[in-house]
């Protein structure tokens, strides 16, 4: 099947074939046709098969059926093609908090054969410019409320020729242009391996890495974890906090609900209390958020009757779920969390366990469609119980946009996620730390998250982060940064009590020799602890 892309920039900057991961397509659901537009599968198919009137997207004061989302996306696709000169293969920057217009724009770009490039709402002009230059972005659709940084970036980005704002009442706004366009659009007949999505990693250092995904990759992600682990139904109402620019959010809050004909709630404000209020308001049944958000919600509602009886599935990803948080959430809500590790490179979750098979302290097993293994430094598989580097293969995989770091993420056909794991005798994968975050103290290997899990059980601790800091005698020592609950005092006596508590619970050499109290911990927009910031002097 020939590519539909007239602009071949993305395809031309795929990694060389020998640096691509090995791909696995064994499941029957992964037999894709050569020609595939994922927007047709996820959106238009429901309308064509008579489900156009079903509820698709909700937001405060708004309800769109599948037919309504399709009509909005089709109008935007016409604006992109007729008024903004989009040709298939062009990259389109999308910039907005999570809301229905952002979802409509995403589908419009993909319908028109463009490449959707999400951007985290908090990014500044400098960071936007890095993405726009790297991806040679020609078009942007932006929420008017994020116009400041967008304008500043656009002034300095020669490739960016076409920019429209939505949620804009003006004559030049996207809505005015949409009103001039028809509600029918013929999706571009893309090849299954035409790129439709670029996601920049929320990485901590250096230039952002752009991961590229095909139309087929989007459908592969929908065919693996959701039906085998999440098992949603068409009546489900999805909700959550991750931005759609983060593939955890894109999958969980847009692609997966639509893949089963369910509905999604897109809310812009997603602090723990706001998220819970929205769960109640919309009667949400499936929630996606990060471990710290589960903990904060549970701590705030611990002594009250549970207010969200509709919630039946709770998904955690982005960073390790401490066993203490799993227990706290189950005791508060009655729901066992579905943990899953995914990555921007692999698009979505590849190791996970459903609520019946969940084991505290373990992420789960390889998701059907994927294979995983724990390797030593030479790339040899390690026996059960030994800590090594996590390696994964499946129907999605790492394809960086012109980036030498491809050779680090993909080795011998395996995707190397950068995580230290061990696999137990039953095939459950247990997260230890990022490979480069392993603490080595007096010859012992210590994973920060294990110490964090113990500290989180102490009644005085609200949040914590554990890292290794240089030490003349031991190489490194374990240091804990602790946010106390309002009821506790940041005194040497509290620190000593926390140290004793850890020594009683796990091998004493793991206890934090240093403790620092903080008011808050540095986190990314995706809920990840920024350990590198804790290391800064």
Closest-by-Cβ residue to ligand 3UK is 342
226 binds ligand 3UK (CB under 6 A): no
Instruction: Give the per-residue contact string, 498-537, with ligand 3UK (x = CB under 6 A; - = no).
Output: ----------------------------x-----------
Q: What angle do CA 144, 150, 156 make, to 5 degrees?
A: 150
Provide the minimum distance between the beta carbon of 469 and ligand 3UK in the complex, in angstroms, as a whole number.
21
The smaller minimum CB distance to ligand 3UK, of residues 77 and 466, is found at 466
CB of 165 to ligand 3UK, least distance (A): 28
Q: How far is the CB of 355 from ligand 3UK (least distance, A)?
A: 15
Candidates 17-25, 183-191, 271-279, 314-322 — which segment interacts with ligand 3UK by CB under 6 A? 314-322
> How is residue 39 written in tokens?
């927007």
Q: The tokens of 341 are what?
A: 């590790």
User: What is the spatial distance between Cα 112 and Cα 215, in angstroms, rounded to a whole number?
Assistant: 12
Cβ proximity to ligand 3UK: between 123 and 188 the closer is 123
Candidate ranges 13-21, 147-155, 157-165, 411-419; the one touching ligand 3UK (CB under 6 A): 411-419
Between 197 and 482, name the residue whose CB sits nearer to ligand 3UK.
197
Q: Is 400 in the site for ligand 3UK (CB under 6 A)?
A: no
Residues whose CB is less than 8 angstroms from the CB of residue 384 and which lie 6 or more positions away in sequence, other chains included: 422, 423, 424, 425
Tell me which of 130, 136, 201, 530 binds ligand 3UK, using CB under 6 A: 201
Binding ligand 3UK (rule: CB under 6 A), the pick from 418, 475, 490, 522 is 418
Positions 278 through 297 that interact with ligand 3UK (CB under 6 A): none
Binders of ligand 3UK among residues 156 to 175 (CB under 6 A) are: none
Q: Which is nearer to ligand 3UK, 217 or 339 (CB)?
A: 339
Out of 266, 317, 477, 498, which residue is the one contacting ligand 3UK (CB under 6 A)? 317
Nearer to ligand 3UK (CB atom), residue 220 or residue 317? 317
Burial class for 105, CB neighbours closer than 10 Å (0-12, 13-18, 19+): buried
d(CA 300, CA 272): 9
Distance, in Å, from the CA atom of 15 to the CA atom of 29, rounded to the nearest integer, reads 27
Q: Binding marks (x or -) toward ligand 3UK, 253..282, rule CB under 6 A?
A: ------------------------------
Please state the closest distance from residue 361 (CB atom) to ligand 3UK, in A. Answer: 11
Number of residues that bind ligand 3UK (CB under 6 A): 24
Determine if residue 334 is left, alpha or beta; phi over 0 gives left, psi from -120 to 50 gives alpha, anything else beta. left
Asked whether the beta carbons of 137 and 10 are under 8 A apart, the reply is no
C-alpha distance from residue 195 to each of 113, 399, 404 (Å):
9, 10, 20
**Can residue 68 be called a binding residue for ligand 3UK (CB under 6 A)?**
no
Give the CB-side neighbour count of residue 410, counting CA atoms within 13 A: 24
Distance between CA atoms of 347 and 396, rounded to whole angstroms?
7
C-alpha span between 242 and 340 (Å, rounded): 14
Residue 324 or 349: which CB sits closer to ligand 3UK? Answer: 349
419 touching ligand 3UK, by CB under 6 A? yes
Helices (H), 238-347: 247-250, 256-259, 272-282, 291-301, 323-333
Q: How far is the CB of 403 from ligand 3UK (least distance, A)?
A: 14
Contacts of 535 (CB under 8 A, 6+ apart): 467, 469
| C-alpha to C-alpha distance for 63 and 83, rounded to whole angstroms | 28
393 vs 434, which CB is nearer to ligand 3UK? 434
Of 334-393, which residues contact ligand 3UK (CB under 6 A)?
A: 339-344, 348-349, 363
Q: Could you tell me which stretch among 68-76, 150-158, 318-326, 460-468 binds ligand 3UK (CB under 6 A)? A: 318-326
Stretch 432-471: interaction string toward ligand 3UK, x if CB under 6 A: --x-------------------------------------
Q: Looking at 40-48, 153-161, 319-327, 460-468, which segment touches ligand 3UK (CB under 6 A)? A: 319-327
How far is CA 434 from its chain centroid? 17
Q: Which helix (H) or strand (E) holds 140?
A: strand 139-143
- Please state the separation of Cα 157 from the chain's center in Å: 27
Which CB sits closer to ligand 3UK, 181 or 433? 433
Among 98, 99, 162, 247, binds ligand 3UK (CB under 6 A): 247
Q: Are β-strands 475-484 and 461-471 bridged in parallel, bridged antiparallel, or unpaired?
A: antiparallel
Which residue's CB is nearer to ligand 3UK, number 342 or number 369? 342
Q: Who contacts 148 (Cβ-Cβ below 8 Å, separation ≥6)?
A: none
CB neighbours (10 Å) of residue 282? 20
Q: Does 320 bind ligand 3UK (CB under 6 A)?
A: yes
Backbone angle region of 535, left / alpha / beta, with phi > 0 → left and psi within -120 to 50 → alpha:
alpha
- DSSP class per residue in 75-101: HHHHIIIIIS---TT-EEEEE-SS-HH
Q: Give 241 or 343: the residue with its C-beta nearer to ligand 3UK.
A: 343
The footprint of ligand 3UK (CB under 6 A) covers 201-202, 247-248, 317-321, 339-344, 348-349, 363, 417-419, 431, 434, 526
């Amino acid at each position: 099947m020939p590519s539909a892309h007239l602009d071949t920039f993305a395809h031309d900057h795929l990694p060389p074939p020998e640096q691509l991961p090995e791909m696995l397509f064994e499941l029957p659901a992964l037999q894709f046709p050569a020609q595939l537009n994922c927007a047709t599968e996820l959106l238009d198919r429901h309308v064509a098969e008579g489900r156009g009137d079903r509820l698709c997207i909700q937001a405060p004061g708004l309800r769109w059926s599948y037919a309504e989302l399709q009509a909005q996306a089709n109008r935007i696709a016409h604006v992109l093609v007729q008024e903004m000169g989009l040709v298939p293969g062009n990259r389109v920057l999308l910039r907005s908090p999570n809301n229905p217009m952002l979802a409509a724009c995403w589908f419009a770009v993909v319908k028109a054969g463009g490449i959707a490039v999400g951007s985290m709402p908090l990014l500044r002009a400098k960071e936007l410019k890095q993405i726009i230059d790297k991806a040679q972005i020609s078009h942007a659709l932006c929420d008017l409320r994020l116009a400041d940084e967008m304008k500043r970036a656009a002034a300095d980005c020669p490739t960016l020729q076409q920019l429209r704002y939505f949620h804009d009442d003006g004559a030049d706004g996207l809505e005015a242009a949409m009103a001039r366009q028809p509600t029918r659009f013929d999706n571009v007949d893309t090849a299954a391996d035409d790129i439709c999505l670029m996601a920049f990693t929320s990485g901590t250092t250096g230039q952002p890495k752009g991961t590229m995904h095909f139309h087929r990759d989007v459908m592969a992600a929908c065919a693996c974890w959701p039906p085998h682990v999440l098992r949603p139904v068409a009546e489900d109402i999805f909700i959550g906090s991750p931005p759609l620019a983060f593939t955890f959010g894109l999958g969980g809050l847009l692609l997966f609900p639509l893949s089963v004909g369910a509905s999604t709630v897109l809310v812009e404000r997603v602090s723990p209390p706001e998220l819970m209020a929205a769960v109640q308001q919309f009667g949400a049944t499936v929630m996606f958020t990060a471990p710290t958000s589960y903990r904060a919600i549970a701590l705030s509602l611990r002594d009250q009757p549970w207010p969200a009886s509709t919630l039946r599935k709770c998904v955690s990803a982005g960073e390790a779920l401490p066993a203490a948080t799993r227990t706290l959430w189950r005791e508060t809500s009655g729901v066992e969390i579905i943990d899953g590790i995914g990555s921007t490179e692999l698009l979505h979750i590849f190791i996970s366990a459903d609520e019946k098979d969940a084991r505290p302290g373990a992420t789960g097993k390889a998701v059907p469609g994927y294979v995983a293994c724990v390797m030593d430094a030479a790339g040899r598989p390690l026996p059960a119980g030994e800590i090594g580097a996590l390696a994964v293969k499946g129907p999605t995989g790492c394809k960086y946009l012109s980036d030498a770091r491809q050779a680090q993420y993909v080795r011998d056909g395996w995707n190397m996620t950068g995580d230290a794991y061990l696999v137990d005798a039953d095939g459950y994968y247990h997260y230890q730390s990022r490979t480069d975050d392993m603490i080595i103290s007096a010859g012992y290997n210590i994973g920060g998250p294990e110490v964090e899990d113990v500290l989180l059980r102490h009644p005085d601790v609200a949040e914590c982060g554990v890292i290794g800091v240089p030490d003349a005698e031991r190489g490194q020592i374990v240091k804990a940064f602790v946010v106390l609950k309002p009821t506790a005092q940041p005194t040497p006596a509290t620190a000593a009590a926390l140290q004793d508590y850890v020594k009683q619970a796990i091998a004493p050499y793991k206890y934090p020799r240093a403790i620092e109290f903080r008011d808050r911990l540095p986190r990314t927009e995706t809920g990840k602890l920024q350990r590198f910031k804790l290391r800064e002097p």
